[in-house]
Amino acid sequence: MAVMEIVHYGDPILRKKCNLVKNFSRLDGLLNDIFDTMYEAEGIGLAANQVGLDMNLFVVDVTHTEEAEKPYVFINGEIITKIGEKMPYKEGCLSIPGIAVEISRPEKIILKYQTPDENWHEEEFGGLLSKAIQHEIDHLNGIFIIDHLSKVEKMKYKDELNALVENTQKNRIAKSNHKGFVL
Ligand code: QAP
Ligand code: CO
């Protein structure tokens, strides 16, 4: 059991397109820690860059909804097809705590992805699982929920977002001082 630190809005790693995973050895311990971190934060999805790792992978657990019977690990995932009407849904994000915004995304997707055994899969997902996957794929491309809002809508969250950025920057400086780094 190892809970990692979740990085917040304002950390540059969350604006990066994450590197594809090429080395699948030693993933198991890391994935365990990512799941522990997500469960402790009471989230349903978590992307690697949200715990400071530049890797194209994320985990999702929506077993509480009974539309999935197991937690998922998605590595090097790519949305192949988007199906159906865009459906609005109020989404939160562990990297933007306290903010939830209504976002419209396609109802279903076909995702190509790898599992930790390196096998490739192509699978259709709907419901909350589809929303969570699209949200996490966004993270791996440096996109946040608030990026889906209009300028006017985004303005409503300006103060909260500025406070988050300020806090993230203070945190990064405190940590680099602690480690003896020079910024
Ligand atoms: C992404 O987000 C997601 O602000 C996962 O105070 C969310 O798990 C995809 C959370 C909804 C699809 C639909 C956020 C927990 C969790 C908060 C999360 C908070 C406590 C967010
Ligand atoms: Co998120």
Choice among 99-103, 133-137, 157-161, 176-180 with the minimum mean pLDDT = 176-180
Q: The whole model's pTM is what? A: 0.96
Mean pLDDT score, 32-57:
98
How far is the C-alpha of 140 from the C-alpha of 78, rounded, in Å? Answer: 10
Q: Indicate whether 79 pLDDT > 70.
A: yes
Choice among 32-41, 98-107, 109-118, 174-183 with the minimum mean pLDDT = 174-183
* Cα separations in angstroms, 39 against 64, 83, 113: 12, 30, 23
Give the pLDDT band of residue 138 (cuts 50, 70, 90). Answer: very high
List all residues whose CB is within 6 A of at least one atom of ligand 1: 42-45, 91-94, 97-98, 131-132, 135
Report which ligand 1 atom has the smallest distance to the Cα of 43: 8
Q: Whose CA is nearest to atom 17 of ligand 1?
A: 97
* Cα separations in angstroms, 181 against 6, 7, 17, 84, 174: 21, 19, 25, 50, 10
Give the pLDDT band of residue 183 (cuts 50, 70, 90). Answer: low
Active site residues: 136
Report which ligand 1 atom has the smallest distance to the Cα of 99: 4
Q: Whose CA is nearest to atom 15 of ligand 1?
A: 43
Give the pLDDT band of residue 67 (cuts 50, 70, 90). Answer: confident
> Residue 107 C-alpha to ligand 2 middle, in angstroms?
18
Mean pLDDT score, 86-100:
96
> Residue 99 C-alpha to ligand 1 middle, in angstroms?
9
Residues with CB under 5 Å of ion ligand 2 are: 93
